[in-house]
């Protein structure tokens, strides 16, 4: 005897195909849960009607009150009938004749009006006999095949790994749901005890089109899910598709939520054809402790690790000082706001850690000498130091690949950081992506994460291919490496099927521009997206644009005006004028500072990390929206702030 799992849900369905009633405790008799499927709707010939033919049945709820039964549905009121004094009515359910009881004209009229078909309500009476066909001597309600249906929440969880839109257990209309078992463990159960009742596990439940119907609306899923998936994963050698197990009670008794399940006997599971479905990549689950959201927010981080990755490339590992896990999407960035000499400069860095390891967050920073935050991080930040940060932010993440499972990741310099985050996540979650990762570096000493990438490639031999180009070093001894700058010809040699891949490109402007043009040439039909990210621009590394002269900005909502001379940004002008405007990355990436220019000319500021202004939609651009942090006013301007 093996201790097994426990009961997590109990449902009965008073009306066949009608809405369920949830229970905490249930009396079990020879027909299953007391009251289950004791009513069914029949047509004029007495044949049963189910939600397969009339999905409006899903909407009918049942209420019992002493000797009365009430059927009700939203928008159509209710009907009540007494259960005593009903007259016999011959009905037929799946070929078996049964003498049921007729619930009367009022119930028939209400149902006919709601279901838009002439019908009557049949009630199973004490003398109505419907034999159980699975074993001799048993008695059946109006359920299809067996007195009860058992399902396993782990089995549904397993199925949902393959569905773009997970389905709830309600689709399968179980009576008993079990928790804490292995997925599909129920296939091998022969006899179980739950609470006071012993059950024969009579075999798997073959599924039909009804599981595709949303019980709330009755509308069938256009993609025929989850039936299509069951056809790929749960098809028996006999051609039927199976989910859940039928139960036949061996004795009367009570079962309660939380009752454990003992497996008394095992059996050989029904033989299934090998599964062919591919799991759907899932984004990280929001963590309850963090409020369950990837929405950006400000938090304090403590540095708990510093690791040298390559020459002038260092990883800084942080935890949140409030103890919360940090939820983000692989490829997103975070804005660091350290206090340096009484100022709080900001700079955005792509997160290099994977959200599959949520208890720390890392950024990997290439040192830019001559001041700025990257220089400060390398020279000043120590273990235990704290700084403020805002994020996560950004649209350059794995989910942006949509349905495409073949990826080309192209990076140069510290543009490797979003790629390592995505690769770590793909490996940790065993997602079915096929990735070609190509990195461009000056020398082999400048390649970050080289050892880890080799390990990942060994672990995903058919799914991760690595290649390199070195612009100022010999490539002898470095496998899959070419010398010189990456260009279209090299790219087509290294990745000839680029047209069949979503491309992620991250690196300096020139690198991304080359990659964009090469993609346009090599994948002219533009089937899969080309996604690009500029990593944060260090203020100290930006060459200032020429001065502009006199300018003024009128903030029309606030009724304030500010003027000055020389190069500024709308954000700087707003701050100087005391006009409130949120900002996060201050590099033209995150979109937090979007505002609408009503009048006047502008140009991109030197800190604009994305010349395409990808944080704004096409409509926003057309209607005058700009990113205040990286937009420089020219002359007189009016802004709707
Ligand atoms: S603050 Fe991020 S785009 Fe301006």
Going from the C-alpha of 40 to that of each of 2, 14, 118, the distances in angstroms are: 38, 9, 14
Residue-level pLDDT at 288: 33
Q: From atom 3 of ligand 1, which residue's Cα is the shortest distance away?
A: 588
- Better pLDDT: 172 or 75: 172
ipTM of the complex: 0.99
pLDDT, mean over the chain: 88
Cβ-based neighbour number of residue 333 at 10 Å = 29
Percent of the chain past pLDDT 70, that is, above it, reads 93
Q: Which numbered atom of ligand 1 lies nearest the CA of 628?
A: 4
Residues 428-447 have pLDDT tens digits of 888 889 999 999 998 888 88
Question: Of 152-156, 372-376, 439-443, 525-529, which range is least confident?
Answer: 525-529
Residues 6+ apart with CB under 8 A from 228: none
pLDDT at 65 over 60: yes
Choose one of 591, 605, 620 to mutate for the ligand 1 pocket test, by most ligand atoms within 8 angstroms of C-beta.
591
CA 517 to ligand 1 center in whole angstroms: 27
Q: How many residues does the chain have?
A: 641
To test the pocket of ligand 1, the residue of 587, 595, 606, 612 to mutate (highest count of ligand atoms within 8 Å of its CB) is 587
Residue list, ligand 1 pocket, CB within 6 Å = 583-586, 588-593, 615, 627, 629
In the beta sheet, which residues pair with residue 584? none
In the reported structure, the alpha carbon of residue 510 is separated from the centroid of ligand 1 by a whole-number distance in angstroms of 22
User: 3-state class of 249 per DSSP?
Assistant: strand
Of these ranges, 262-266, 281-285, 567-571, 611-615, the one predicted with the greatest mean pLDDT is 262-266
Q: Using CA atoms, how far apart are residues 577 and 553, in angstroms rounded to an integer?
A: 9
Ligand 1 center from residue 386 Cα (angstroms): 23
Q: Find out whether the peptide bond into 226 is cis, omega within 30 degrees of 0.
A: yes
Among 327, 506, 515, residue whose Cα is nearest residue 425: 327
Pairing between β-strand 464-470 and β-strand 481-483 as defined by DSSP bridges: parallel
Digit-coded pLDDT (tens) for 134-187: 888 889 999 999 999 999 999 998 899 888 888 999 999 999 999 989 899 999
Residues 6+ apart with CB under 8 A from 222: none
Please report the atom of ligand 1 found closest to the CA of residue 584. Answer: 1
Q: Which atom of ligand 1 approaches the CA of 593 most closely?
A: 4
pLDDT at 286: 36
In order of 85, 205, 503, the CA distances from 130 in angstroms are 21, 20, 62
Angle formed at CA 448 by CA 408 and CA 590, multiple of 5 degrees: 65
- Please report the pLDDT score of residue 294 as a whole number: 60
- Residue owning tokens 């997602």: 431
- Which of 337, 395, 592, 614 gets mutated to test ligand 1 (max ligand atoms within 8 A of its CB)? 592
Instruction: For residue 105, report the distance from its CA to the centre of ligand 1, in Å.
Output: 68
For the CA of 335, the nearest atom of ligand 1: 2
Q: Which residue has the higher pLDDT, 288 or 330?
A: 330
Q: Give the DSSP per-residue string, 434-498.
A: EEEEEEEESSGGG-TTHHHHHHHHHHSTTTEEEEEEESSS--TTSTTEEES---HHHHHHH-TTG
How many angstroms separate the alpha carbon of residue 336 from the centre of ligand 1?
A: 13
Strand partners, 469: 440, 482
What proportion of the chain, given as a percentage, has pLDDT over 90?
Answer: 55
Ligand 1 centroid to residue 585 C-alpha, Å: 5
State in Å: Cα 584 to ligand 1 middle: 5
If we measure between CA atoms, which residue out of 97, 227, 117 comes closest to residue 163?
227
- Asked whether the predicted pLDDT for residue 589 surpasses 90, the reply is no
Residue ranges covered by each domain of the chain: 296-393, 398-533, 542-639
What are the tokens at 398?
Answer: 């794995």
Cα–Cα distance measured from residue 472 to residue 443, given in angstroms and rounded to the nearest whole number: 6
For residue 502, give the nearest of 526, 525, 530, 534 by alpha carbon. Answer: 530
Q: 398-533 — its CATH code?
A: 3.40.50.80
Q: Specify whether the CB–CB gap between 259 and 195 falls below 8 A.
A: yes
pLDDT digits (tens, 9 = 90+) for 188-225: 999 999 999 999 999 999 999 899 999 888 888 888 99
* pLDDT of 620: 87
Question: Residue 601 pLDDT more than 70?
Answer: yes
State in Å: Cα 400 to ligand 1 middle: 20
| Average pLDDT, integer, range 339-361 | 85
Q: Which of 334, 535, 589, 610 to mutate to test the pocket of ligand 1 (most atoms within 8 A of CB)?
A: 589
User: Do the Cβ atoms of 146 and 202 come closer than 8 Å?
Assistant: yes
Q: Bridge partners of 600?
A: none
**CA-CA distances (angstroms) from residue 46 to 42, 99, 112, 427?**
5, 10, 14, 58
582 CA from centroid of ligand 1 (Å): 8
User: For residues 168 and 114, what is the distance between their CA atoms, to the nearest angstrom?
Assistant: 26
What's the fold here for domain 542-639?
Ubiquitin-like (UB roll) (3.10.20)
* Ligand 1 atom nearest to 629, measured from its CA: 4
Is the pLDDT at 323 greater than 70? The verdict is yes
Q: Determine how β-strand 313-320 pairs with β-strand 297-310.
A: antiparallel
Half-sphere exposure of 157 (CA within 13 A, CB side): 11
E strand or H helix at 239, and its extent? none
Residues 593 and 583: their CA atoms lie apart, in Å, by: 5
**Residue 595 contacts residue 626 (beta carbons within 8 Å):** yes
| Three-state secondary structure string covering 573-611 | HHHHHCCCCCCCCCCCCCCCCEEEEEEEEEEECCCCCCC
Q: What is the dihedral of CA 397, 402, 406, 407, to 10 degrees?
A: -20
Confidence grade of residue 539 (pLDDT, cut at 50, 70, 90):
very low
Q: Select the more confidently predicted residue: 34 or 164.
A: 34
Nearest-angstrom CA–CA distance, 212 and 210: 5
Tell me the per-residue pLDDT of 307-316, one tens digit each, with 9 for 90 and over: 998 888 899 9
DSSP 111-139: HHHHHTS--EEEE--TT---B-SSSTT-B
Peptide bond between residue 542 and the one before it cis (omega within 30 degrees of 0): no
Q: Hey, do 296-393 and 542-639 end up sharing a CATH topology, with the first three levels equal? A: no
Between the CA of 593 and the centroid of ligand 1 the distance, in Å, is 5
- The CATH homologous superfamily to which domain 296-393 belongs is Translation factors (2.40.30.10)
Using CA atoms, how far apart are residues 319 and 303, in angstroms rounded to an integer? 7
Report the residue among 392, 393, 539, 583 best suited for mutation to probe ligand 1: largest number of ligand atoms under 8 A from its CB: 583
Kindly tell me if the per-residue pLDDT of 567 is higher than 60.
yes
Ligand 1 atom closest to Cα of residue 588: 3
- Atom of ligand 1 minimally distant from the CA of 571: 4
Separation of CA 609 and ligand 1 centre (Å): 10
Distance 560 CA to ligand 1 centre (A): 22
Which has the closest alpha carbon to 332: 141, 531, 89?
531
Residue of 536, 585, 641 to test ligand 1 pocket, by largest number of atoms within 8 Å of CB: 585
444 or 424, higher pLDDT: 424
Question: What average pLDDT score do residues 36-43 get?
Answer: 97
Cα(591) to ligand 1 centroid in Å equals: 5
């Amino acid at each position: 005897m093996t201790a097994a799992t426990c009961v997590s849900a109990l449902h009965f369905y008073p009306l066949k195909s009608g809405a369920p009633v949830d229970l905490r405790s249930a009396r079990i008799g020879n027909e299953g849960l007391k009251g289950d499927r004791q009513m069914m709707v029949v047509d004029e010939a007495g044949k049963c009607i189910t939600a397969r033919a009339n999905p409006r049945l899903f909407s009918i709820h049942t209420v019992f009150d002493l000797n009365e039964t009430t059927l009700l549905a939203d928008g159509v009121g209710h009907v009540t009938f007494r259960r005593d004094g009903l007259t016999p009515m011959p009905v037929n359910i799946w070929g078996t004749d049964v003498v049921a009881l007729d619930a009367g004209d009022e119930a028939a009229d209400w149902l006919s009006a709601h279901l838009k078909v002439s019908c009557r309500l049949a009630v199973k009476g004490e003398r109505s006999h419907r034999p159980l066909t699975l074993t001799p001597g048993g008695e059946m309600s109006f359920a299809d095949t067996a007195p009860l249906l058992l399902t396993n929440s782990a089995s549904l969880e397993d199925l949902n790994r393959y569905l773009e839109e997970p389905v709830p257990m309600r689709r399968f209309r179980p009576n008993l749901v079990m928790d804490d078992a292995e997925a599909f463990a129920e296939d091998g159960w022969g006899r179980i005890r739950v609470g006071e009742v012993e059950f024969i596990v009579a075999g798997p439940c073959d599924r039909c089109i009804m599981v595709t119907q949303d019980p709330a609306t009755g509308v069938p899923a256009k993609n025929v899910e989850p039936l299509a998936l069951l056809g790929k994963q749960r098809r028996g050698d006999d051609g039927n598709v199976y989910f859940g197990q039928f139960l036949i009670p061996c004795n009367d008794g009570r079962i309660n939520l939380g009752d454990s399940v003992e497996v008394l006997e095992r059996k050989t599971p029904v033989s299934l054809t090998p599964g062919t479905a591919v799991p759907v990549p899932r984004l990280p689950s929001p963590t309850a402790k963090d409020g369950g959201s990837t929405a950006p927010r400000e938090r304090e981080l403590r540095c708990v690790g510093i690791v040298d990755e390559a020459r002038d490339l260092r990883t800084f590992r942080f935890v949140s000082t409030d103890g919360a896990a940090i939820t983000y999407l692989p490829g997103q960035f975070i804005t660091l706001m350290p206090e340096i000499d009484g100022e709080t400069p900001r700079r955005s860095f792509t997160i290099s850690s994977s959200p599959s390891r949520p208890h720390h967050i890392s950024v990997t920073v290439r040192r830019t000498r001559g001041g700025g935050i990257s220089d400060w991080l390398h020279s000043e930040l120590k273990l235990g130091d704290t700084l403020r940060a805002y994020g996560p932010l950004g649209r350059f993440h794995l989910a942006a690949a949509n349905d495409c499972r073949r990826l080309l990741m192209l990076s140069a310099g510290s543009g490797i950081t979003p790629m390592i985050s995505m690769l770590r996540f793909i490996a940790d979650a065993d997602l079915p992506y096929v990735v070609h990762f190509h990195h461009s570096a000056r020398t082999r000493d400048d390649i970050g994460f080289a050892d880890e990438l080799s390990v990942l490639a060994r672990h995903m031999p058919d799914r991760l291919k690595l290649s390199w180009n070195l612009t100022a070093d010999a490539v002898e001894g470095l496998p899959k490496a070419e010398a010189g700058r990456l260009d279209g010809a090299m790219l087509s040699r290294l990745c000839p099927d680029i047209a069949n891949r979503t491309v992620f490109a991250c690196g300096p402007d020139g690198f991304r521009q080359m990659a964009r043009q090469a993609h346009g040439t090599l994948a002219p039909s533009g089937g899969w997206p080309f996604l690009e990210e500029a990593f944060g621009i260090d203020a100290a590394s930006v060459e200032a644009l020429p001065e502009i002269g006199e300018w003024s900005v009128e903030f029309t909502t606030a009724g304030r005006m500010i003027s000055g001379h020389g190069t500024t940004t709308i954000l700087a002008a707003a701050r100087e004028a005391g006009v409130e405007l949120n900002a996060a990355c201050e590099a033209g990436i995150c979109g937090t500072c979007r505002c609408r220019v009503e009048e006047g000319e502008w140009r991109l500021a030197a800190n604009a990390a994305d010349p395409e202004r990808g944080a704004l939609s096409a409509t926003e651009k057309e209607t005058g929206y700009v990113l205040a942090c990286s937009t420089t006013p020219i002359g007189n301007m009016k802004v709707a702030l």
